[in-house]
Amino acid sequence: MESDDLSSLSEKKLKKLINETQDVLDQLKAELKQRKLDRQHHEIDHMEDYFEDAEHNLSNLRLFIQKVFSEIRKR
């Protein structure tokens, strides 16, 4: 909406638009929050996989040290 259009609106109309926009914003925020929570619940359902991931930490260390040394060599 252009600013020229806005200046032609009455204060009552402006307030109405603000309230409507606020409602839409609240709905969008609630939807976003709900999606985030749904994703979290979904991932918690796969907790077994994360338990397994947590056990392979020595291979992580090896990979990390290789990366550090390759980073040092590049310099």
Partner 1 sequence: MTNISASTTNSNTAVRIIQWLLVLFLIYMLITAVGMIGSGFKGATKGQAMELFAFATNPFMGLIVGVIATAMIQSSSTVTSIIVGLVAGGLPVEMAVPMVMGANIGTTITNTIVSLGHIGKKKEFRRAFAAATVHDFFNVMAVAIFLPIEIIFHPLQKIAGFFAAHLVGGENLSVKGLNFIKPMTKPVIEEFKNLAEFISQPGAHVILIVFGIFVIFFAIIFIGKLLKKLMVGRAKAIMHASIGRGPISGITSGTIVTVLVQSSSTTTSLMVPLAGAGIFKLKQIYPFTLGANIGTTITALLAATAISGPAAVLALQIALVHFIYNTTAVALIYSIKFLRKIPLRGALWMARVASEKKVYALLYMIGVFFVIPGLMVFLYQLMA
Q: What residues line the site for partner 1 (CB under 8 A)?
A: 37, 39-41, 43-45, 47-48, 50-51, 53-54, 56-61, 63-65, 67-68, 71-72
Write down the least CB distance from residue 46 to partner 1, Å.
Answer: 9
Closer to partner 1 by Cβ: residue 15 or 39: 39
Tokens for 40, please give them. Answer: 């979290």
5 vs 45 by CB, closer to partner 1: 45
| Helix, strand, coil percentages for the chain (3-state, nearest 5) | 85, 0, 15
6 CB-near residues (< 8 Å, 6+ apart): 14
Pair of tokens at residue 51: 């338990």
Distance in Å, CB of 57 to partner 1, minimum: 4
Q: What is the three-class DSSP state of 10? A: coil
Q: Which is nearer to partner 1, 23 or 49 (CB)?
A: 49
